[in-house]
Structure formats: structure tokens, C-alpha cells
Chain A
Amino acid sequence: MFLALREMRHSKARYSLIMVIMLLVSFLVLFVTGLARGLAYANISAVENMPANYFTVQDDAEHTFRRSQLSEAELAAAMSVVGDGNAATLAVQTSTVTAEAAEVKADITFFAVDMDGMLAPKVVQGEALTNASQGSAIVDSKLEESGIAVGSTIVDQASGMSFKVAGTVEDSSYSHMPVVYITKSDWQLMKGGAAQEGSAQLSAPYNVIALKATSAEADQVAGKLDHVEVITQKQAISSIPGYAAEQKSLLMMIAFLFVIAAFVLAVFFYVITIQKTSQFGILKAMGTKMSYLAWSVVGQVLILSVASLAVSLLLTFGMNMGLPDTMPFQLERSTILLTCVLFIGMSLLGALISVVRVAKVDALEAIGRAGA
């Protein structure tokens, strides 16, 4: 590090320039990552925040909740494996609601859940529902922007049923739509009303059964039921309409940013290294070990990438504070850590070609060369 630090001290302009470029790239990486995560969260937070780690879906539903149909019989089978508290049915229905007071419409997703079960919404404002409540709903707080708050009455366009908003929950979105939680009995009413062609007596099916289970238990549930598949929460999330496509494009951008970061750094360092070829020859002739020189190059890259990451983290947090709420942004600690490690890793990869170049310099070049 003796050489690395002193060289940076001496050529401040040159190394500052590299640092600024790395800073901009790493800022962009962090920022786009935060936006991608924010978008993802705004898309599927209702499923991500569920305490379930597995979902039971019909095996021909291709993991998609809405295509799957399951009944109380499957719920009973699942409960017998994982215990009553660790399995709950979930019914999903996208719809449009109008607020009675305000002249607005909002696209929402109905989640019909057992209000005593593990999927019961965690109310932050207003009151929770019981299974006995009728004509009441808990809504995602984002509906406040449409003028729907505790005490409002919303009307489902498809069924014409009206619900009084009893309370609100936070971070509950499904396919970018705010979630409206209703009771299972209201779900039966809604479905019965919609399919009133003689078969009204049959109970309407649910879509999936959420499980809190070990992988062994999950296998057991899958084995016990015919035409049923047990998928992980991750698989369920990536099958939510729009999620995979959205995340893929953003991931692509992030991947390119990483490649660009590595490339820019590699080229800069390579050019600097080529300029210093004769110096490396002299250093080797004087008895400097190759490992020492390699560490010198790697050390400089490490210092530059860590410093620029630190600054861009500060920038990212500052930027986040100034960002409007309509631009979802989220960076968990684990994502930051992963991004930083990847960025430093890519930088080091870029430094590698310079190290190879230094290794190729022959100490012999020091003798008999007039030019510096």
C-alpha cells in the first residue's frame, strides 16, 4: 500500500476523475436497484408480507393464484399436516370499486381471508374485522389518495355489493393494486351473487391455501392431495401478473450497469498501467516482488471503489428523502450489502487485466532503455 497511497496522493486529479466516474456509476446502480426493489414491493407487498412461506395451488394453474381453485376439503387436508393455525385459504379477485361519497373509481384486488387466521390483515388505523362482520372491509392505506378512508363506503362494480371501510393496513399491494380485505362469508355472498344460476347453494371455491410449513411438511401436503402443487413464496411472487417482466427489465439494466462499471474501471486502470510500464520494469529490477505490485494495483482499485460506494450510498439516501411518494423506492440492508459486494467484486475483476499486464512486464526492460 506504500506505493498505492503515495501515487494517489501525487496524482490527485487523475484518481479523482476515476473516482467521480465510479461514483456516478455506483450511484446509478444503487438508485436503479432501489427503484426496482421499490417497484417490486409496490407490486407484490401483500404477498411478500404474508407470514406464509408456501402456497398450495392447483397443479394446472401454472402457479397463478387466480387460475387455481381449491375448496374447504383441501384446507382440511393441509391443516391436518401443518396444524390449524398454519394454513389459511386465500381468495383473490381483481375488481373496480367506486367510493360512494367521492366520484372516483379505483382498481383494487379483493383478498377474502379468515379474519382469525394467519392471513388476517394487520390494521394500523380503525378497527379489525371479525369473521362475523358483514359488509365491512379493511383497505390498503394507498386508497386514501382516491379519497377512501376509514368510514367511507365503497361499492364493488362487478357485484354491486357495498362495504364500509372499518380500518386500513399498510404495504398491501397485489399486481400494483391496493388490496381490499373482506371476510369469507362476504366472499361467498359476492360469488353466489355473481353465479346465481341454480348452483347458489354450493360454496364458492377459494384460489390458494397459504401455508407456514417446513419443506418436509410442504412435501407431505403435496403428496396428500391430488392435482395440487405446493410452491414457495418466491415462486408465487414471480407468477404474479406483470412482476417477472417488470423485474427482468430492471435487472437487465442493473446487470448492464455492473458491466459498464467494471469495464470503465478496467479501461482506465489499463491505460494508467500501460503508461507506467517502464516504472514497473524499474520496480521489478530493484527487487519488488510481483505480489507486492499486484496488491498495489488491487489496493488502489479497492480504495477507489469503496470510497466511491460510500459517497454514492450517502447520495442515494439523500436522493431517497427528496423523492416523491409516487416513485416507490426501497433498499433493504441486505440488498445494499449485496450490491456493494457485487460492485467491488466487478471492480476487482476489472483490475485483474491490469495485474496481468503488470505481471508481463520484464524487469529486463529497465536496462538499456533511454526513455522514461
Chain B
Amino acid sequence: MSAMLMMKQVTKNYGDGGRTMSVLNKLDLTVNAGEFIAVLGPSGSGKSTFLSAAGALLTPTSGEIWIDGESLTNKDKRELTELRLQKIGFMFQNAQLLPYLKVEEQLLYVARLAKLGTKESKERAAGLMKRLGIWERRSHYPEKLSGGEKQRVAIARAWMNKPAILFADEPTASLDFERGREVVRMIADEVRSEGKAAVMVTHDERMLDWCDRVLHLENGMLAEHQNTEAATVQV
């Protein structure tokens, strides 16, 4: 199995001169194709920092990161932008759709950026929208959609360019329990059907049913099964 994301000894320090704070501390992680991973952690534990570093938005203080075999070290801003376009799909808190694009155009826009052919991108967009149940909504503006529908459009947009890996930042935060679970299930379904990988950051432990692995961000490092086992026992 090939590694879609590999992080080795990644450290991120914040601080001015004397007082530095290690948010990520020699963090190691490998995510393989077909894997859906959840990262849990309390507020301020560094979840956003972790996701930004893995998603090529933030350069770590030290350590190395590979996306789909490509190292992020020594890449300039332009190259990182191009890599995000081609290899990474993002889902943000609150969906963050562009208010002035209709649902279908949200998908076609990223396809245009990646210079996909018109016919090919229309077909791919149609396929994604049908699978995610937003086909009927394709010519609506985001303002006319429910929160769950918006996140489904965000899922479709994130997968549009066939990225190697999808990063989701609290995708369920603005949704109720049922809608949230549905969104997570759909991310998991897409990971399987696309044969790619996904990393979801969340603080909601009820959303983990479809995740292959659950990791905890503690003291700047990722640790496997700790609270999860306790949680599972309780249920």
C-alpha cells in the first residue's frame, strides 16, 4: 500500500525569541490509500496547526512531510499552491462555499483551475453530485442550501480534482448529530470508492464510527487508542 501522507518528526514552534511553545513535537504519521483517519484533541491542542502543516499551508519548524510521495520541503509558494490544487482536497468548518457560485459551478471552478477538460469535468461533477444526493440542487446558490447540503457540496468540491488525500477541519461542527454522522459516512464512502485517503480533525467523539483509525493529539504528538477504548467500553 502506498502512503498518501507521511509526516516524519514534524515540529512546529510558536513564539517570539525567548519563549517558544511547541505545538507539534516530533510528530510522526503515515496515512495509506483507502484509510480514513480521525484526529481528536481538546481545544488548543494543535489540531488546526497539524492540519495546516499536513495540508501544505504552513511550513513546519522542522521535520519532513510527503504528500503522495512528493516532499513538501524546499517547495516555494507557487509550487505548494499547485500541489494543493492537484493533490489535496480541503473541507472547512462551515463548508465555506463561494456565495456567488451555483452548486455545479463550485465543482467546475476547481476543475477549471486544474485545467480539466469541460466534458470530463462536467461528467465527474455530475457523478459526484448524484452520489452525494445534491444533483437536484445543482443550480442553486449556497444561500438556498441547508447546512448538511452545503457540507455535501464541500465534500464533492474537495474530491473534484481526484486529490490523493482529503483534509477536513471539523466538518461536523455546524451540523446536528444526524446530519454530522451522515456527512462523515459520505466522506468514508468516497474514500473507499476513490481509493484515496482522508484525515478528519474533530472534537466530537460520536463521529468516529466510520474511521479506520482514531488518533489523539496530545503534547504535540499523535497517539493511538487511548480514550477511544474507554469510550467504546462505555457504549
Contacts and interface: CB of A to CB of B under 8 A. Distances in A.
A282 B92 contact: yes
B112 A10 contact: no
A7 interface: yes
B6 interface: no
Contact of A366 (B47, B90, B105, B141): B90
Nearest to A364: B57
A14 to B, nearest CB: 11
B219 interface: no
10 contacts: A278-B96, A282-B92, A285-B92, A287-B88, A287-B110, A288-B81, A289-B78, A289-B82, A363-B81, A368-B52
Interface residues of A, number: 28
Contact of B48 (A7, A279, A367): A367
A334 to B, nearest CB: 40
Contacts of B49: 368
B116 interface: no
Given A363-B57, A370-B173, A289 B81 contact: yes
A11 interface: yes
Nearest to B92: A366
Contacts of A289: 78, 81-82, 113
Say whether chain A's binding surface is mostly helix, strand, loop, or mixed. helix
A364 B101 CA distance: 22
B99 A10 contact: yes
Contacts of A333: none
Interface string A270-314: 000000001100111111111010000000000000000000000
For the side of the interface on B, what is the size category? 35 or more
A368 B46 CA distance: 10
A287 B52 contact: no
A2 B52 contact: no
B68 interface: no
Contact of B109 (A2, A285, A369): A2
Given A10-B141, A367-B52, 20 more contacts: A3-B98, A9-B100, A10-B100, A278-B96, A279-B99, A286-B85, A286-B110, A287-B82, A287-B83, A287-B114, A288-B81, A289-B81, A363-B84, A364-B57, A366-B57, A366-B96, A367-B90, A368-B49, A369-B92, A369-B93
Interface string B99-127: 11100010001101110000000000000
Contact of A292 (B84, B93, B113): B113
A266 B204 CA distance: 44
B109 A368 contact: no
A171 to B, nearest CB: 53
Contacts of A292: 113
